[in-house]
Chains A and B, each alone.
Chain A
Amino acid sequence: MGFDPLSLGVMAAGAGLSTIGSGLTAGSQAKNGARQAAARNEVLRQQNAKLDKFAADNRGDFNTTIGTYDPNAQTAQRGALEATRAGDSDAAVNAATGAALAAPTGFSESASPAVAADFKSRMADASTRALEHGRAGAKLQAYDDSQLKNDLGNKQLARNIDTTNNYARGTAALTAPLQDFAQFQAYRPPSMLGGLVSGVGSLLSNYGGYSLGKGTSPFSGLFGGGANTAGLAPSVPFAKANNGFGVGV
Chain B
Amino acid sequence: MGWDLFGTKKAAKTQAAIAGQAAAETQAREAKREADVGAGKTAIDQAFAQYNPDFFSNYKSAYLNNYNPQVDRQYTMAQDKLKAQLAGQGVLESGVGNNAFADLANTYATAKSGIAGQANDAANQLQSKIDNSKTSLYSANAAAADPQSAAAQATALSTSLAQPTTYSPLADLFSSALNSYGAYRSASNGNTGGGGGAIDPNANGPGGGYYRPSSTYGGSSVSTVG
Q: Which residues of A contact B (CB under 8 A)?
A: 84-85, 88-89, 91-93, 95-97, 99-101, 103, 105-108, 111-112, 114-115, 118-119, 122-123, 125-127, 129-131, 133-134, 137-138, 141, 144-145, 148, 152, 155, 158-159, 162-163, 166-167, 170-171, 174, 177-178, 180-189, 191-193
Contacts and interface: CB of A to CB of B under 8 A. Distances in A.
Nearest to B225: A115
A126 B111 CA distance: 13
Interface stretch (B88-96, B187-195, B203-211): B88-96
B113 A92 contact: yes
Given A108-B93, A122-B101, A92 B116 contact: yes
Contacts of B139: 162
Contacts of A101: 105
B129 to A, nearest CB: 12
B159 interface: no
Interface stretch (B23-31, B160-168, B178-186): B23-31
B225 A170 contact: no
Instruction: Describe B's contact surface by its main secondary structure.
Output: helix
B116 A89 contact: yes
Contacts of B64: 92
14 contacts: A84-B120, A88-B116, A103-B79, A105-B92, A126-B103, A134-B116, A145-B124, A148-B128, A155-B131, A159-B134, A167-B34, A181-B26, A191-B1, A193-B1
Contacts of A107: 93
A126 B105 contact: yes
Nearest to A122: B102
A34 to B, nearest CB: 16
Interface in B124-145: 124, 127-128, 131, 134-135, 138-139, 142
B219 to A, nearest CB: 10
A122 B98 contact: yes
Contact of B142 (A92, A163, A187): A163
Contacts of B110: 93, 129-130, 133-134
B223 interface: yes
A118 B12 contact: no
B177 to A, nearest CB: 12
Contacts of A96: 75, 105, 108-109, 111-113
Interface residues of B, number: 68
Given A106-B92, A130-B109, A152 B19 contact: no
B223 A115 contact: yes
Nearest to A167: B34
B112 A93 contact: yes
Contact of B19 (A131, A158, A185): A185
A187 B116 contact: no
B26 A187 contact: no
Which 8 pairs show the lowest CB-CB distances between chains A and B?
Answer: A130-B109, A184-B19, A122-B102, A134-B113, A100-B105, A126-B106, A189-B8, A181-B23
